[in-house]
Structure 1
Amino acid sequence: MIDNLPPLREVIAAHELSAKKQLGQNFLLDLNLTHKIARQAGDLTGCDVLEVGPGPGGLTRGLLACGARHVLAIEKDPRALPALEQIAAAYPGRLTVITGDALAIDPLAHLTPPIRIAANLPYNVGTELLIRWLTPRDWPPFWQSLTLMFQKEVAERIVAKPGSKAYGRLALLAQWRAEARIVMTLPPEAFTPAPKVHSAVVHLTALPEPRFPADPAVLTQVTSAGFNQRRKMLRASLRGLHPQIEGLLEGAGIPPTARAEEIELERFCTLARALKAAREA
């Protein structure tokens, strides 16, 4: 038992909190597991933590028990509020709950650095939130680390290496500015209701600066064009970016006949720098 609050099954029954498919909800009821996920977020003492989609509050309880200075929980489902209020009362002054859509709320008004993000993300918004957190206007970002639960397939795309089927824009985006690794996998039966797929927790630590220099907008253009037509050779998929794209590819050490999934991050950054210079010439 991590605190003196009731087990999550009792909390869900008491507040009639059956998971809603349209909200992407799958609740993790084992408090030992939620506590373990919270520990993967690192040393939380002295940190504010942003949590999206707390539901009945299993991970919230883990984060507070692990010593988080303050947790800001954003929850779209008003049915979960009484359960979260119960947790707030057990941890006075350390939990703030905001009702609403995490995609529409700016959490920074409620958080004080250092900030970590930890969440069992709703399946339907998880990838979009991750991309937002990885692509702020300024870097380093407001967060030190992200500890996030995804479908296992999405988690594998985040940590994928060149040459694998999972390798794509998400891997490049995550690995350009962060250290990413899978720290836990969970079977469907760990959740209520059980999803059809396995899940995995990914821990991303923000790098002080990107691994290789590149203009974010140009790098996005290059990787989007390359991976949107991943079966095509790069000289064809990137043709619309510059009239001399074959020469730019060769200058970046990339065979024009290669496909996007064969090219490592450093070469994509080299190409993005060359493309920007060619456009400005």
Structure 2
Amino acid sequence: MHLYREPSVTNLDFDELASYLEGKIPFVEITTRRPPEANHELETERLAEKFAKTKVKSVESPEKNSNPLYGEIKYEEGLIENPSKDVSGVMYDGHLLSRIYHRLLPEEETDASHLHIIFTKRLFGTGKEKGGRYHARVSLYSYPTLISTSGIVEAPAKPKEFYREKRRLASLGETGGTIERLKEKFKGRFIDYDDERLTEVMKGYVMQALFYHLRSNPFCEKECCRLYNAHWQEEVIRAQLEPPEFCEKHSNILEEL
């Protein structure tokens, strides 16, 4: 089981994630690695173009970015050359992104005996091929699995009161610093960038990746289980930060393993 680090996120402890997994599945070898981009054999410009082609042109349309602009390619070059650089305002097609990362995996490790979990700062989404808008995701369980450190902030919806208050302030013409004021008011009720709870939250997502790999089903219907497929920030907090860790069914499966 291989965890690929995301160096731009300071509050995500990959050694702690590895230790957590070792405690849950001691029969599996856990490794932590640099981002896959750091090991690529392609020229940076060629790889950057591949990433640029996964950029979502419009969240309302499945149209592909088949001919990226020069500036988009240079932007991706910067992300490859400086893994600690922040990325914002861009969404990528999760399935296309997964295909790129699959090509960057060591060829001898692309069978079912290896599970690759790639943490990325890139915000990705999935959408229907014919119609339908893209939706931001925290994770994409495929081969390899992708987990977005931006997605955990942007994909699950914040409390309904957050959006009501945002609309109220907008109707009053109060737009300056609105988001920061709202974040302070609702602090603790959602996961934010560089959140000190991030490592604990991500333990649940790596366990979802494990269950997908072993059982083809990463999710649980019970809100009290780390495998719950949360769509709201408060559901994330309930599932990942409050006891119990797992429901009775998935606790028994782990004991059997």
Q: Normalising to structure 1: TM-score of the pair?
A: 0.27
**Which has the higher relative contact order, 1 or 2, with Cα contacts under 8 A spaced 6 or more apart?**
2
Larger relative strand fraction: 1
Query: When the two structures are superposed, what TM-score results if normalisation uses the length of structure 2?
Result: 0.29
User: Which is higher, the Rg of structure 1 or of structure 2?
Assistant: 1
